[in-house]
Every structure is written in structure tokens, then in C-alpha cells.
Amino acid sequence: MNNVIQIECPPEVLISLHSSAKNFAELMKMQTAIYLFKEGKMSSGTAASWLNMERVQFIYKAMEAGAVFLEDDDDDFQREISLL
């Protein structure tokens, strides 16, 4: 079951962004997924699934937004190796 979350958005915001409500909702969804990933609260796989995209594509977008995919430590390296 999917949950729908509604937020209020004044028309001025959409006008200033030259965006439709649908496009703005998709932008907020992407930005939220990237934020939660950067904060370590959502995995890249879960975020990619939520956004209906490949995991690699999400990681690329998150890294463009400043996310760090791997720390320079052995734990991250071993975790990523185990996924191969």
C-alpha cells in the first residue's frame, strides 16, 4: 500500500519555478530521497526503488548533489564488495 503525502504550495512558488504541481512533486521526491540517503536514513536501493530508477542512476544523481557514496574505511569497502 502506498501512502500519499500532501503539502500546500502557493501558486507563486510554482510560477517562480516555471513548474507544474506534478513536476514540483517529482522534484521534492527526488530531493527528499537524496537528503535521506545523504543522512544515512535511506539506502540507495530503497531510494532508487521509490524513484523508479536504477540504483546506479540514483547514486550518480546523489553524488552530483554532494552525497558521498563510500567513506574511506574498511567497513564500507567490505560492504560494497559483498554486494558484487
Q: Can you give the residue range of the structural domain that contains 78?
A: 11-82
* pTM of structure: 0.77
Decide which of 71 and 34 is more confident. Answer: 34
Any domain includes 5: no
Q: How far is C-alpha 16 from the geometric centre of its chain's CA atoms? A: 23
Enclosing H/E stretch for 81: helix 74-82
| pLDDT tens-digit map of 68-84 | 766 666 776 676 667 66
The answer to whether the CB of 56 falls within 8 A of the CB of 62 is no
Query: In whole angstroms, what is the distance from residue 63 CA to residue 44 CA?
Result: 11
Number of domains in the chain: 1
Q: Is the dihedral of CA 75, 51, 33, 6 positive or negative?
A: negative
Any domain includes 3: no
Residue that has been written with the C-alpha cell 558521498 in this structure: 68
